[in-house]
Structure formats: structure tokens, C-alpha cells
């Protein structure tokens, strides 16, 4: 009789322990998803900021007409892109920025006009922060994916209905004239 009771107790304790562990894991996963959301919001903000600065520069008349059109087109496409085309559009903006600012002199021209110093600074900051924000986002996505691929998470459906997190893949190489931190 007592033996059965002890067994029932043991089973109960084990079940509670498993339950607590699963709950803790679900909490971990929840936090990771929250981190991805925050990182994605930050990435969106940085991408938007970069596109805005690029568009401002394109419409300012500082650049030659051809460069202005190339940059305006790319910045506009990046801002308007649907979710599925976003990565491609943002990559194209990176390419356009690299093409326009391939020559360090172009940056000097921007710096010389009134307010140009501030614009050049903003653009430098923006092209620097986009890769940062993207790396932080993809880091969070990687951590969540590793946890979600674990047996305990799949078997007990701890992730609920949260969509499987996707990394944001794009070409975010900044123009060398803007990336060179020397001097």
C-alpha cells in the first residue's frame, strides 16, 4: 500500500518537474521571439532611415542627374517594397549607394554644400548601422531556430502558432568611401 503511494508520489514529482522544465523552455522561447520582434523593428528602422537619407540626397540636386535618378529609383523601391521583395530591393539600394559613392570625391562634393556635412554624416551612420542591426536580428533568429528544432519543443509544440523565424538576407556592404573609418 505505502509502496504504491510512494510510487504515485514519485511519478507526480517527476511529472511536475517535467512540466516546470517545459514551462521554463516555453518562457525562453517566448523571450527569444520577443527579442526577434525588437531586433526586426530596429532593423526596419535602420533600413528606413538609410532609404530616407538616400532619397533626400537624390532629390537635393547635389548629385549629378544620372546618379540622382539611380539613387532615387533604388531608395524609392526599397521604401515601397512588399515584404517578399524587401531583401532584393534593399540589396539593390546597397548596390546603388556603392555605385554612386564609388569615388570618395563624390562624398567631398556632398560635404561642401550647406547642410551636406550633416547629410554625409547621417548616411555614414545609416550604412554602418544596417549591417549591425541585421546581424543582431539574424543572431536572434539563429538562437530561436536552434531551440525550436529541439525535440522537446517540437513534441510538445511549445512554439505554439508563432511562425518559424526567418533570417533577413541582403547585401549590406557599405560603399568603401563611407566605410573607411580612418582619418
Partner 1 sequence: MRIGIVCPYSWDVPGGVQFHIRDLAEYFIRLGHEVSVLAPADDDTPLPPYVVSAGRAVPVPYNGSVARLNFGFLSAARVRRWLHDGKFDVIHIHEPTSPSLGLLACWAAQGPIVATFHTSNPRSRAMIAAYSILQAALEKISARIAVSEYARRTLVEHLGGDAVVIPNGVDVDFFAQAEPKPEWQGETIGFVGRIDEPRKGLPVLMRALPKIFAERPDARLLVAGRGDEKEAVENLPKELRPRVEFLGMVSDEDKARFLRSVDLYVAPNTGGESFGIILVEAMSAGAPVLASDLDAFAQVLDQGAAGELFANEDADALAEAAVRLLGDPARRAELRERGSAHVRRFDWSTVGADILSVYETVTAGAAAVAADDKGSPGLMARFGLARD
Closest approach, Cβ 159 to partner 1, in A, equals 14
What are the start-end ranges of the E strands in the chain? none
42 binds partner 1 (CB under 8 A): yes
81 φ/ψ angles, rounded to the nearest 5 degrees: -60, 140
157 binds partner 1 (CB under 8 A): no
Estimate to the nearest angstrom the gap between the alpha carbon of 82 and the chain centroid: 16
The C-alpha atoms of residue 148 and residue 166 are separated, in whole angstroms, by: 12
Q: What is the DSSP string of 78-92?
A: HHH--GGGHHHHHHH
The C-alpha atoms of residue 162 and residue 42 are separated, in whole angstroms, by: 20
Binding mask 55-94 for partner 1 (x = CB under 8 A): ----------------------------------------
Q: Exactly one of 15, 48, 132, 166 binds partner 1 (CB under 8 A); which one?
A: 132
Residues found near partner 1 in the complex (CB under 8 A)? 20, 23-24, 26-28, 30-32, 35, 38-39, 41-42, 45-46, 125, 128-129, 131-133, 135-136, 138-140, 142-143, 146-147, 181-183
Amino acid at each position: 500500500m505505502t509502496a504504491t503511494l510512494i510510487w504515485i508520489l514519485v511519478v507526480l514529482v517527476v511529472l511536475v518537474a517535467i512540466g516546470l522544465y517545459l514551462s521554463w523552455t516555453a518562457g525562453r522561447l517566448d523571450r527569444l521571439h520577443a527579442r526577434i520582434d525588437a531586433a526586426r523593428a530596429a532593423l526596419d528602422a535602420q533600413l528606413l532611415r538609410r532609404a530616407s537619407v538616400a532619397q533626400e540626397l537624390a532629390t537635393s540636386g547635389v548629385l549629378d542627374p544620372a546618379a540622382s535618378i539611380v539613387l532615387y529609383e533604388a531608395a524609392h523601391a526599397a521604401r515601397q517594397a512588399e515584404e517578399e521583395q524587401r531583401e532584393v530591393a534593399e540589396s539593390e539600394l546597397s548596390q546603388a549607394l556603392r555605385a554612386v559613392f564609388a569615388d570618395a570625391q563624390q562624398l567631398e562634393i556632398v560635404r561642401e554644400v550647406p547642410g551636406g556635412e550633416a547629410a554625409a554624416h547621417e548616411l555614414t551612420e545609416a550604412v554602418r548601422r544596417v549591417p549591425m542591426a541585421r546581424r543582431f536580428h539574424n543572431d536572434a533568429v539563429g538562437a530561436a531556430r536552434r531551440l525550436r528544432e529541439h525535440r522537446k519543443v517540437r513534441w510538445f509544440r511549445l512554439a505554439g502558432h508563432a511562425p518559424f523565424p526567418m533570417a533577413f538576407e541582403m547585401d549590406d556592404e557599405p560603399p568603401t568611401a563611407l566605410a573607411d573609418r580612418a582619418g
